[in-house]
Amino acid sequence: MHTNGKAIIETERLPIKLWLEEDQMEEGALEQARNLANLPFAFQHIAIMPDTHQGYGMPIGAILATQGAVVPNAVGVDIGCGMCSLRTNLTDVATADLKTIMGIIRNTVPVGFKHHKTRQDEAWMPEKRGELPVVDQEYENALYQIGTLGGGNHFIEIQKGSDGYIWIMIHSGSRNIGFTVANHYDDVAKRLNREAGEDVSRDLAYIPESSEYFKLYWNEMNYCLEFALANRKLMMERVKSAFREVLPEVEFVDFINKPHNFAVEEEHFGETVIVHRKGATRARKGEWGMIPGSQGTRSFLVKGKGEAQSFQSCAHGAGRIMSRTKARKTLDLKEERKALKDRGILHAIRHREDLDEAPGSYKDIDEVMRNQVDLVDVQIELQPLAVIKG
């Protein structure tokens, strides 16, 4: 069934509203969406964004609203993962200068599994509020991880905007501290659900609001959200320093930050609910957001339209079209490298193992954007100039 151009699945306890055609969803992601719709505490409907693909328990690019329960896997293992953007006053950067800047960034921002060799300034760490048992346990290690990129689809990208300016965009999360918090509370949720005689096989274990663990998870999730933001801010400071070292007159304005893995209390359809966004960006009316493509395609700075049916949300990126393993096995390294070179992009595809982040492993960002014209208005288009990947 369709309404307003969106497909609706009405075979489950709650409707599932899709911002893409049903046959564009992989079967695994569709099954996970059905599981969400049958949760007894799920509210109103499930919203599926056009960049959706299979995740762990819940699809990436999905929004779940609940009453009386929080689902750790509906936030995800990289709590607070998100993006930030910053505009420079530059209208161009020479390729030689760009290469030098990228070299400095690589020396000051650890990527992949690498951490800093020394503790970073503790002033960057968020203030602790409430009981934080897992954060307390991981705090010392986090002092070496703050200001690091991580791996997977995380990136630092220098871009040329349709507004004429050079922009910086960073995509990263809460590193090991968020991962450890997420896994700890998923284990807690599974134990609680088993003790209550409930099925935990769908990886959607939940913590009821009545449990003492609900407040603990809420405290630690919010700390990880703040840590992820601080992580991006520190990386952005290192990127700014690299620019200043090469181009001393550069100035920076218009910092934008948007997480896309989090849960928060909001008002929707006349009720206070817990909105879980996993690989989805909040898009209230007039609210700025970022929707990146791949390292070979455009990204977009957008303003939300506040669409009620998506729980005021939009996509968080292009979304994967194939698994990392399939990308490494099937994509052609020479072709992917040539396509990026032909576009003049200083890219991060060097070896076959890098193909999981090649443009060919992602959905067509233009189609993703067409599928959500009712959710956001594009403000600025960003063309990639240079990319560092985890």
Sketch out the chain's domains with CATH numbers.
2-321+362-389 (3.90.1860.10)
Handedness of CA 160, 161, 166, 170 (dihedral sign): negative
The pLDDT score that the predictor gives to residue 4 is 46
Task: Take residue 97 and report the two structure tokens written for it.
Answer: 């200068």
Task: Take residue 121 and report the two structure tokens written for it.
Answer: 């300034």
Beta-carbon count within 10 A of 257 CB = 17
The one catalytic residue among 53, 276, 316, 347 = 316
CA neighbor of 317 nearest in space, from 165, 155, 86 = 155
- Indicate the SS3 state at residue 72: helix
Beta-carbon count within 10 A of 107 CB = 10
Section 371-377 average pLDDT: 97
Query: How far apart are alpha carbons 43 and 65 in whole angstroms?
Result: 5
Query: How far apart are alpha carbons 349 and 357 in whole angstroms?
Result: 8
The reply to whether 154 belongs to the active site is no
**Which residue, chain included where needed, has tokens 């705090």?**
139
The pLDDT score that the predictor gives to residue 359 is 72
- Average pLDDT over the chain reads 93
Share of the chain above pLDDT 90, in %: 83
Query: How far apart are alpha carbons 4 and 7 in whole angstroms?
Result: 9
Query: How far apart are alpha carbons 147 and 156 in whole angstroms?
Result: 12
Q: What is the pLDDT of residues 155-209, one digit of tens each?
A: 999 999 999 999 999 999 999 999 999 999 999 999 999 999 999 999 999 999 9
Q: What are the start-end ranges of the H helices in 43-87?
A: none
CA neighbor of 204 nearest in space, from 213, 218, 192 = 192
The pLDDT score that the predictor gives to residue 349 is 72
The pLDDT score that the predictor gives to residue 94 is 96
- Indicate the SS3 state at residue 110: coil
What is the pTM for the complete model shown? Answer: 0.93
